[in-house]
Each structure stands twice: as C-alpha cells, then as structure tokens.
Chains A and B, each alone.
Chain A
Amino acid sequence: MSVQTTLATESITDSEPAQTAADEVAVARQWRLVWRAFLRHRLAVVGLVVMVIIYLVAIFAEFVAPYSATQFNSDYPYAPPQRIHLIDHSADGTHVGLFVYGYKAKLDPETLKSTFTVDTSNRIPLTLFAHSTQPYRMWGLFNAHLHLIGPKDGHTQVYLLGADHNGRDLLSRLIYGTRISMSVGLIGVGLAFVLGLVLGGVSGYFGGRTDTLIQRVVEFFMSLPTLPLWMGLAAALPSSWGSLRRYFAITIILAIMAWTGLARVTRGRFLSLREEQFVTAARLDGNRSGRVIFRHMLPSFTSYLIASLTLSVPGMILAETSLSFLGLGLQEPVVSWGVLLEDAQNIRVVATAPWLMLPGVAVVIAVLALNFVGDGLRDAADPYKR
C-alpha cells in the first residue's frame, strides 16, 4: 500500500514517462494505478459495463432497434408489451425457440378503444439478426436490412415493450432515444468542460482580482434556479428551427448552466497545486505559464477532471429529460427519453399504458451507472485514498 502510494506520487510529479528500468522495479504509470484502484470498486465496474452497453446501443441504434423510431401501425394503438417465450406447449406438440404470442384485438363499440388480449394460438417466431422488409440507412451512410432481433417474417409487427398511441414500437423509440439523450449529455458536458476548464483554470492560476470576479459570476449562476431559466431560454427558440439546430441550441443552453461546477473543481485543484513544490520548480526553471499549466499541472489532475466530468453527465441527462418532458426541450420527430416521457404526462394515459413510463427506467439506469463510474473514478484518482 505504502509502496504504491509513493509510486503514485512519483509518477505524478514526474511528468516525463517513467523509463522502465532494466532491473524491473515495479513501475506503473499513473493511469495504470488509477485503473487498478478503479477495478477494486465493484459498483463502479458494474456501472462501467452498463455505461459501455448503453453507449454501444446509442452508437448502433439502427441495428439494435427492431424498427425505426417513426414506423407506426394504426392497428395497434397502446398495444401492451409482448413477453418473449422459449417453450410453447400447444395442441400440436412442444415448440422450442424464441417467439412471442400475437394479440387478439377487440374494439370497444362505445369508446372505440382497442383492447388487446394474448392469443396463445398465434405464435410469432423471433430470430436474432432478423432481416427487415424496410431498409434503414446505417449512420446515414449505407443501406442495411439486418436487425439484432425481430420477427422471422419481416411483415409482422412485434412490440416487445409495447406501443404508443400511434402504434409505434416503444423499444425502437427507446433505443433511438438513447442516442439523443446520451449524446446531449456528452456534447453538453464537452461544451461546459471547455468553459469550466478555461475560466476555472484562469481563476485558480492567477488568483487575485480575476479570481474574485470569476467566482462572483460562478456564484451568480449557482444561486439561480436553473429550470425556469432553461425554460425561458428554450421557449424563446424560434419554432421554425429544424430539429438539428434545436438540438444544438438546447445542448448549448444546458451547458451554459452546467459549467459552474466544473469551474469550481478546476479552480480548487489549481489553487492547491499552485503551492506545490514541483510547480514552483517548473516556474523557476523558466517555463512560461502555458507550459506550467498544460505540461506540469494539468496531467496531475486529469483523472480527477475526468471523474467530475463523468459526474456531471447525469445532471445534463436529467435536465434534458425534464425540459423535454415539459415540452420545451427537444421535440418530435427527434426522439429522446424526455420526449418519450412527455406521452406519459397524463394519468389516464399512464393508467392504460403504464409501459410508457419505461423510458424513465432507462434514465434512472443511465444516471445510476454514470454516477457509480464517476464515484469510482474519483476515489481511484485520489492517490491518498488508495
């Protein structure tokens, strides 16, 4: 333990890559040590796995989703989720394989609402790597037919997580929503990161009056209730804007409020590092401010920064969800988790189709996973906790 700690501090202070000596003293780069400490944090590792899966789903949304986000079937409004079965005991013997049971739809003559019951005589076989009848454009680059899972017969429709009021497949929409929600978090934090790093760094490195001024601004932003302001700004976006432009505008609005936390963290680190001997040494050696900051100070807290970055992504995701949920954030045809949840605002809708709350579960899982990873990273990045 103590050996590791000294090694860790050495590799922090030594900005040059540690040369592997011939006599094979246990040498490990800072990243190695952080990774090792991270692996000891069980929840964080689980979180990391979940996070990687979520991002993979987001990247390969077209392939993972059985249908497109907009494909609808007006015969199946609010069709309930179909459970995947493996074994079927029917009159003509036992079948083994992936399948779901079809629906029997009944139209209420008075309310004109369809109610669906499970029809065990109608077996719809599913297959992995199914071919769909309608091609999709993978990443907008090339056409493809393959889906991770789908009915064997490309013409039938299955709703593994149920359908919404237009008979659109919730699972597919959830998967496409993953792409938008997760990328809003990433891009937003990326923007906030640039702002926070620059302002926090300047504030902490130079101190004095600059510091006071920037800290006042940060405090101002922190004392504001963010949602009303977000709403005000988002409501002012022209409705004529296309979905892509709106997407970026919303991301920027979210980032405007989110940089303050990162600025605080950066400033705090800079303030404490400024007094360290290796920084003084670097300065006395005649390095210019830029070099001292980027070559000497920054590497010693990048892992720490990454941890706080990870921890601010969930906030972004939650903010986007709330905003879209209220109808002021992203809007159809763009699909995000918040946009999907907007359908679930009405208690009558939720009562007939409780599965519409499932995107909320996705939000919770993503936020939890990111929080665990962030916490694990933060602990791992702190050499004194190892």
Chain B
Amino acid sequence: MLTYIGRRLLYMVPTVILISMVAFVIIQLPPGDYLTALAAQLSQQGQSLDHAQLVTLEHRYGLGQPIYVQYGKWIWAILSHGDFGQSFEWNRPVSALVSQRLPMTIVLGFTTVIFTWIVAFPVGIYSAIRQYSPGDYVATTLTFLGVAVPNFLIALVLMYLGYRFFGLTVGGLFSPDFENAGWNLGKLLDLFSHLWVPVVVLGAAGAAGLVRTLRANLLDELHMPYVVAARARGVPERRLLFRYPLRVALNPFISTIGWVLPTLVSGEIVVAQVLSLPTTGPLLLESLESQDMYLAGSLILIVSVLTVVGTLISDICLAWLDPRVRLRYK
C-alpha cells in the first residue's frame, strides 16, 4: 500500500510541474508585461512609479530576464512563502484574495461530491436490479437529461422559476444579514439554506453520469455465473446483491471522482457566475476579463492542483478498497 501511495505521489510531481508551466504560460500570454500594466493603471489614477519601486518590482518578478528565470522566481516565491504575486485590479496580494474565496469553493465541491454519491447510489442500484421497470425508465431518462443539459441552464431555469413563482432571488451563499457577519450558528444555517441550490445544480450532471456507470456495471455483474450459482444455492437476494456484485460495481464509484472533480470545477465556474456565489469561479472570470494575469494564473494553478490532489485521494481510496489496483503497481 505504501509503495503504491509513494508511486502515485511520484507520478503527481511531473503533472503538477506541467500544470504550473501551463499556468505560467497563461500569465505570459497577453501582450505587455506586468509592470507596463501596473504603470498604466497607476498613471490613470494620477500616480506614478518611482524608480526605486520600479527596480524592486523588476527584481521581484525577474522582468526583462529570460523566461525560465521569471518562471523560477514565480514558482520559488509561491513555494517558499506562498507569494502568488500582486493583483493590480484589486491592489492586493493574490494569496489574500484567493484565501478569501477558496474555502467556499472547497466546501461547495465537497458537498456536491457527497450529494452526487447519496443520489447516485440508491438510484443506480434500483435501476439495475429493476431493469426496464417504470422507475428504471424514469431514472434513465433523467440521467440522459442530466448529462445533456448544461448546468448553467439548470441554474438559470431555477432562478427564473424561483423569481417568477416565489418572488425569490435564488443566488449567493448568504442572506444580506449574514453577508459580513462573523461565523456563528445562524450564519452556518443560513449557508446551508443557500448551499443546496448550487449543489443540486452542480451535482446533477455528475450524479447522472454516476447512475449510468453504476447501472451498467451492476448489470454486467448481475449476470455473471457466480451470481447465478449463488442464487441456485439459495442465497437470499439481498445478501446476494450486497455480498459481491455491488462491491465490484462500486469501484467506478470511487474512481470516478477522478473525472467528476475536473467537470465539477469547470461547472462551478459557470454556475457560480450565474448564481453569483462568492467562490473562485467568478473571481477567475473577472481576472481574465481585466487581464489581471497573476490572479488568473494563480487561480488556474490552484484549482488544477487541487483537482489533481482530489484525484490522488480517490486513487488511494480505490487502491485501499481494491487489491487488484494496489498490486498492479507493485
């Protein structure tokens, strides 16, 4: 097991390095460099950079030096003291901005994954063991829809319905009263009363996909000779199901976090924009629109690395559950 984790961690290193390179390239893509943009912005406000500041900044970002030096300085600042650079749109360090938004993103992602499981598990099992029953048809139709409807459209429709029929403004994660309040029980409850909308919207596609996988896997498994043999020996149906086929069919449940997470993060951006959630998504969009590249690049880096870490965790869980996975890497 430890060898497996070690190997998996080693595999992660090149991935993370590659991600950081891609993020850095995105930072560098827009024409002009950070300093020109900053100087332009300051002069707009009637200020100007004095020479000393200019030199410090130039040194800090390694501007004017070869690209790999700039990359090195950027990554070193992040690794050594968590300095992601400065957002000139907000005039604050990127790390401060990100740490403000990131927890909500993680809470949202985590809750959504849990929600997906809770929904997909019973529905998937039901539609497999009652194949071609009315319930199965309903579930299958819903999963087809869940995969086909872009999740921001669900959000839009929900918002419209809430507004049209209940006079509600669905959106945000907190009521205005709690927006700036400190954390207490009231705020927590308020958060949960808002959180379900984005969770349902985001979880729909993932849950639909999971139901389909679970159904397909379980159906394959249920017709295996060993199941027939066990049934012939009089093993009760319930025990028969839970004993082996379900355990085998559950594997993709764990491993799919690997692909649920990337789609979740992608979906989160659009949905958060529609529902105006205080997560990283809208921040990333704003920063890209205003070409606030250090913020944008850092967000892409952080979100991608988090996804990779999430995938790693799911892989480790899978290896823990399934000896075949763990032994393959021996």
Contacts and interface: CB of A to CB of B under 8 A. Distances in A.
Contact of A351 (B160, B267, B307): B160
A341 B152 CA distance: 10
A146 B53 CA distance: 66
Interface stretch (A76-84, A134-142, A153-161, A356-364): A356-364
A371 B266 contact: no
Interface residues of A, number: 40
B144 A216 contact: no
Interface string A302-329: 0000000000001000100110011110
Given A232-B297, A326-B285, A357-B157, A227 B266 contact: yes
Nearest to A224: B304
Interface size class of chain B, counting residues whose CB lies under 8 Å from the partner chain: 35 or more
Interface in A216-254: 216, 219-220, 222-229, 231-233, 235-236, 238
B300 interface: yes
B269 A228 contact: yes
Interface in B82-139: none
The CB with the most chain B CB atoms within 10 A, among A222, A224, A321, A351, is that of: A224
Contacts of A187: none
B31 interface: yes
A225 B149 contact: no
B261 interface: yes
Nearest to B282: A326
Contact of A322 (B11, B18, B270): B270
Interface stretch (B22-30, B37-45, B185-193, B232-240): B22-30
Interface stretch (A196-204, A281-289, A342-350): A342-350
Which applies to chain B's interface (DSSP): helix, strand, loop or mixed?
helix
A238 to B, nearest CB: 7
A354 B161 CA distance: 10
Contacts of B152: 322, 325, 341
B299 A228 contact: yes
A357 to B, nearest CB: 6
B150 A321 contact: yes
Interface string B129-169: 00000000000000011011110110011011001100001
B106 to A, nearest CB: 14
A223 B311 contact: yes
Given A220-B15, A228-B284, A354 B160 contact: yes
A364 B288 contact: no
B270 A325 contact: yes
Given A220-B15, A227-B266, A357 B153 contact: yes
Nearest to B259: A222
Contacts of A224: 19, 22, 262, 304, 307
Nearest to A227: B266
Q: Which of A222, A318, A351, A363 has its CB near the most chain B CB atoms (within 10 A)?
A: A318
25 contacts: A220-B15, A220-B18, A223-B308, A223-B311, A224-B262, A225-B261, A228-B265, A228-B266, A228-B304, A229-B304, A232-B26, A232-B297, A233-B29, A325-B150, A341-B153, A351-B163, A351-B164, A354-B164, A357-B157, A363-B149, A364-B150, A364-B153, A368-B145, A371-B144, A372-B144
